[in-house]
Amino acid sequence: MNPLLMLGALLLLNSLPAYAQRTPDITGVAYKQKLGARLPSESAFTDADGHDIRIGDVFNGAPVILVLGYFHCDKLCGVTRLALLRAAQKAGLSAGSDYVFVAISIDPLEKADAARQAREIDFAAAAPIGATEGFRYLTGTPESIRAVAEAVGYSYHNGARSQTFIHPIGAVVVTTRGFVSSYLSGIGSSHDEIRGALEAAATQSAAPRASPTLLLCLDFDSTTGRYTFAVMKFLRIGAVGMALALAGMIYREFRKGARA
């Protein structure tokens, strides 16, 4: 029997549990909808221009579309912001008068330069309509970020690599007085949906509870997420093939011994 073949099969079979254990933990990551909850108005942040700002300062008489994520994310965070901005534009809405767009980074290590770069990228891609003060890209301390996240029911945790996060996709619509009015799916939100949500928020109304947000944004590498599943599938197929080959070789050796 070929000893290298045996060794290869054993290595493949032994590797399966190790990969399975590295599958990302998404337990509890979701929007836990808190309709009517109030944002912590005194929570302090820094905007993309380096100015200090409190959450209460973003309410200028228009409802707020609040998006949590992080600015250096190369997965779905930027896609979500662009989808919302384009939907609002398609609805004919103007930032500053019809709504205020607020993007908060959940990464406390990101600073104003990261917020400014994200704003420039979004503006170049979406060309949203509205006044400058209608767009707020904010960074903050762990305490301020957590206070806002907990107020709107945004549950997330650290990803596999440093400065990556596993978090839900979507947005929160907040009334002009700082109360949670409704939740948007984000990427799948239509212009009619956004218009309706903002109109309800403008009248201080809370929309019916939305369907749970199932889409998550998480970092992928060679041992996590969908790549893990692909590798595991490959290993299982390879291990089964090796096992069958070994069984065939053992059977042939057994037959030879029986005839001898």
Q: What is the largest CA-CA distance in the chain?
A: 94
Per-residue pLDDT reduced to its tens digit, 103-119: 999 999 999 999 999 99
Per-residue pLDDT reduced to its tens digit, 125-142: 999 999 989 999 999 999
Per-residue pLDDT reduced to its tens digit, 12-21: 445 444 444 4
Predicted structure pTM score = 0.75
In angstroms and rounded to an integer, the radius of gyration of the C-alpha atoms of the chain is 25
Give the pLDDT of residue 179: 95
Give the pLDDT of residue 135: 97
**What is the CATH code of the structural domain delimited by 30-217?**
3.40.30.10
CB atoms within 10 A of CB 94: 16
Residue with tokens 């929309």: 207
In the chain, where are the structural domains located?
A: 3-23+224-259, 30-217
Residue 27 CB partners (closer than 8 Å, separation 6+): none
* Helix/strand/coil for 15: helix
Task: Tell which residue, 137, 28, 30, 19, has the closest CA to residue 78.
Answer: 137
Per-residue pLDDT reduced to its tens digit, 54-87: 999 999 889 999 999 999 998 899 999 999 999 9
